[in-house]
């Protein structure tokens, strides 16, 4: 026989500085416009349940439902409402993708308002996260192009024989009309299709089946090409995922896996912006991320700090146009510090440049004079102007094998604007402020990814499609920011923005 116990108010069990109270207080300050009708719980309360679950590392819908029934903190958020089911939580997240992103930036702007973010510099970095897709359902653009070319040859051969037999003039663009013509012949002569061993197919049936297979393959390749979107690969089980190298290579075979390039911008230990990209390289992800920050935040950053993966003339030009000081580490920064770098006599940095004569002098005292000016177009459409320098005669040079691998004369392709921006950024990162920013970049933005992966277990996505993936990542970042705010308050570190060097 069980003893009857009166219900006890949950308020007495939750400490005054508990994170759940911060979630309640923060989300009550923001505007949340959701038209989603739920059975027994308000949309704002559901949002609090989801965010607090991610803060506690509970991201599974089943575990969120279970925690809502058993955990006292979740019950305190529910305020005597019935706990939501896993299907209700999943439907709520799916139907509020844009509102969840809006909440993230509202929380960031609230942190800006209370001076938790200082807008001095923004640290940018990215990481690859494995998609929720099969590793072996890859589609490669080169393979599709090769098979599509072979298919066109087979179709041309088929149409040539077909037109000769029936005195028609169908071409490669009229496959459906040709199929309709065959169907009319089948109906006209009342041809019955046969299948199985020992059955002899008519020529019309063979033509119909062969042409149908050609059309199906043609449609399949067209569908594949529409899914590439400038990429070289995608996964059949998640067409937005691109095959790329991951940092977690357990098999140690450099296997390509379907994934997304996750980009974050960090300031004062908080994630102030995020973006998801198909691109494997970080170069083309910087400008979309900065444009998102400009649209969503109530302030403007004065500078940007990033590693060498973000260096390009296009990015430098964008920073200059938007009056952002560049603290990007040059791609040749580390190798230039090594002693053996001087042995690479074929590199431009190891040649003497005469600005007045506009020519380079190589290690064998031969001149590389200006030949022509050309341009190079990036994947995003940015056009960089290139100056080409060439040596008149390298054939009898005793150090040619160390200078160039080509059989012709040595050439240098030089982008003056890029070199000017690179030298300016190199000067910036060499200053005392630049060194401090670089130290904080490695601590703050790389440390953020470390926390997300190790503490939150965010190593593989659970959703498919770039929009759902972005929502999932946004929830992780929102939970991270609120936890960070709670920890800084608890440690009396509010309004602290930089980790200062002890040197």
Residue ending a domain, choose from 203, 235, 267 = 235
Domain containing residue 19:
10-95
DSSP state of 17: T
- Could you tell me if 492 and 119 are in contact, meaning their C-beta atoms sit under 8 angstroms apart? no
147 and 229 fall within a common domain: yes
Specify whether the backbone of 100 is left (phi greater than 0), alpha (psi in -120 to 50) or beta: alpha
148 and 230 fall within a common domain: yes
- What is the average per-residue pLDDT within 175-204? 93
The kind and range of the H/E element at 420 are helix 416-430
- What is the average per-residue pLDDT within 245-251? 78
91 and 154 fall within a common domain: no
What are the pLDDT digits (tens) for 41-78? 889 999 999 999 999 999 999 999 999 999 999 999 99
What are the pLDDT digits (tens) for 114-153? 999 999 999 999 999 999 999 999 999 999 999 999 999 9
What are the pLDDT digits (tens) for 367-398? 999 999 999 999 889 999 999 999 988 888 99
Residue 427's Cβ-count burial label (10 Å; 0-12, 13-18, 19+) is: exposed
What are the pLDDT digits (tens) for 268-284? 999 999 999 989 999 99
- Given a cut of 90, is residue 12 above it in pLDDT? no
What are the pLDDT digits (tens) for 418-439? 999 999 999 999 999 999 999 9
Q: Domain for residue 352, yes or no?
A: yes
What are the pLDDT digits (tens) for 455-469? 999 999 999 999 999
Q: Domain for residue 276, yes or no?
A: no
Query: In this structure, how many other beta carbons lie within 10 angstroms of the beta carbon of residue 30?
Result: 16
Q: Domain for residue 310, yes or no?
A: no
Q: What distance in Å separates the CA atoms of residue 328 and residue 107, rounded to the nearest whole number?
A: 28
Which residue blocks in 30-130 are alpha helix, DSSP H? 43-55, 61-70, 72-78, 86-95, 97-113
| Positive or negative torsion for Cα 422, 427, 432, 433 | negative
- What is the average per-residue pLDDT within 157-168? 94
pLDDT band, residue 339 (cuts 50/70/90): confident
165 and 89 fall within a common domain: no
87 and 172 fall within a common domain: no
- Given a cut of 80, is residue 186 above it in pLDDT? yes
DSSP state of 174: -
Q: What distance in Å separates the CA atoms of residue 151 and residue 157, rounded to the nearest whole number?
A: 10
Q: Domain for residue 349, yes or no?
A: yes
- Could you tell me if 253 and 239 are in contact, meaning their C-beta atoms sit under 8 angstroms apart? no
Quick one: what percent of the chain has pLDDT higher than 70? 96
208 and 156 fall within a common domain: yes
**φ, ψ for residue 37, nearest 5 deg:** -90, 125
Q: Domain for residue 487, yes or no?
A: no
Token reading at 354:
């005469």
What are the pLDDT digits (tens) for 82-101? 899 999 999 999 999 999 99
Residue ending a domain, choose from 41, 68, 95 = 95
Identify which has the larger pLDDT, 445 or 36.
Answer: 445
Q: Domain for residue 495, yes or no?
A: no
Mean pLDDT highest for which of 32-41, 171-180, 397-406?
A: 171-180
pTM: 0.92
pLDDT value of residue 247 = 80
- Given a cut of 60, is residue 287 above it in pLDDT? yes
* Average pLDDT of the chain, as a whole number: 92
Residue 223's Cβ-count burial label (10 Å; 0-12, 13-18, 19+) is: exposed
What are the pLDDT digits (tens) for 392-422? 888 889 999 899 988 889 999 999 999 999 9
Q: Domain for residue 114, yes or no?
A: no
| Positive or negative torsion for Cα 440, 442, 445, 448 | negative
pLDDT value of residue 256 = 92
- What is the average per-residue pLDDT within 245-264? 86
pLDDT value of residue 432 = 95
pLDDT band, residue 11 (cuts 50/70/90): confident
Q: Domain for residue 407, yes or no?
A: yes
Token reading at 288:
């979309």
Residue ending a domain, choose from 383, 415, 447 = 415
Token reading at 363:
């290690």
Cβ partners under 8 Å of residue 91, min gap 6:
36
- Given a cut of 70, is residue 1 above it in pLDDT? no
Length of the chain: 503
Q: How many domains does the chain have?
A: 3
């Amino acid at each position: 026989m069980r003893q009857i116990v009166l219900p006890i108010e949950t308020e007495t069990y939750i400490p005054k500085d508990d994170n759940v109270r911060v979630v309640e207080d923060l989300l009550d300050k923001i505007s949340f416009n959701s038209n989603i009708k739920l059975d027994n719980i308000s949309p704002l309360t559901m949002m609090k349940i989801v965010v607090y679950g991610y803060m506690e590392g509970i991201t599974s819908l089943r575990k969120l439902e279970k925690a809502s029934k058993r955990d006292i903190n979740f019950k305190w958020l529910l305020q005597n409402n019935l706990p939501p089911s896993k299907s209700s939580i999943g439907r709520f997240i799916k139907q509020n993708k844009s509102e969840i992103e809006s909440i993230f930036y509202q929380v960031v702007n609230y942190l800006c308002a209370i001076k938790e973010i200082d807008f001095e510099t923004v640290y940018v970095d990215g990481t690859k996260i494995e998609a929720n897709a099969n590793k072996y359902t890859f589609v490669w653009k080169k393979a599709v192009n090769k098979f599509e070319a072979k298919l066109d040859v087979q179709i041309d051969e088929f149409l040539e024989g077909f037109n000769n037999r029936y005195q028609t003039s169908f071409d490669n663009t009229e496959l459906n009309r040709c199929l309709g013509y065959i169907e009319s012949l089948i109906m006209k002569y009342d041809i019955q299709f046969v299948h199985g061993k020992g059955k002899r197919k008519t020529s019309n049936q063979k033509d119909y089946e062969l042409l149908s297979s050609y059309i199906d393959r043609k449609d399949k390749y067209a569908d594949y090409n529409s899914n590439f979107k400038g990429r070289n690969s995608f996964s059949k089980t998640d067409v937005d995922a691109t095959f790329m190298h991951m940092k977690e290579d357990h098999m140690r075979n450099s296997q390509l896996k379907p994934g997304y390039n996750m980009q974050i911008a960090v300031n004062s230990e908080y994630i102030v912006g995020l973006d998801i990209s198909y691109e494997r390289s970080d170069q083309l992800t910087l400008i979309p991320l900065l444009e998102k920050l400009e649209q969503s935040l109530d302030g403007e950053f004065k500078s940007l700090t990033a590693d060498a993966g973000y260096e390009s003339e296009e990015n430098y030009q964008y920073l200059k146009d938007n009056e952002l000081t560049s603290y990007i580490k040059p791609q040749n920064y580390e190798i230039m510090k090594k002693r053996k770098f001087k042995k690479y006599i074929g590199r431009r940095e190891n040649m003497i440049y005469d600005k007045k004569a506009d020519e380079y002098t190589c290690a064998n005292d031969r001149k590389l004079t200006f030949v022509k000016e050309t341009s190079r177009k990036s994947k995003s459409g940015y056009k960089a102007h290139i100056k080409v320098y060439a040596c008149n005669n390298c054939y009898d040079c005793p150090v040619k094998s160390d200078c160039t691998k080509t059989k012709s004369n040595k050439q240098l392709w030089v982008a003056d604007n890029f070199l000017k921006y690179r030298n300016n950024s190199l000067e910036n990162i060499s200053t005392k402020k630049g060194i401090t920013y670089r130290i904080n970049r490695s601590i703050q933005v790389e440390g953020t990814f470390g926390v997300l992966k190790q503490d939150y277990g965010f190593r593989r996505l659970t959703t498919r499609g770039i929009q759902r993936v972005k929502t999932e990542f946004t929830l992780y970042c929102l939970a991270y920011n609120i936890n960070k705010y709670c920890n800084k308050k608890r440690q009396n570190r509010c309004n602290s923005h930089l980790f200062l060097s002890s040197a």
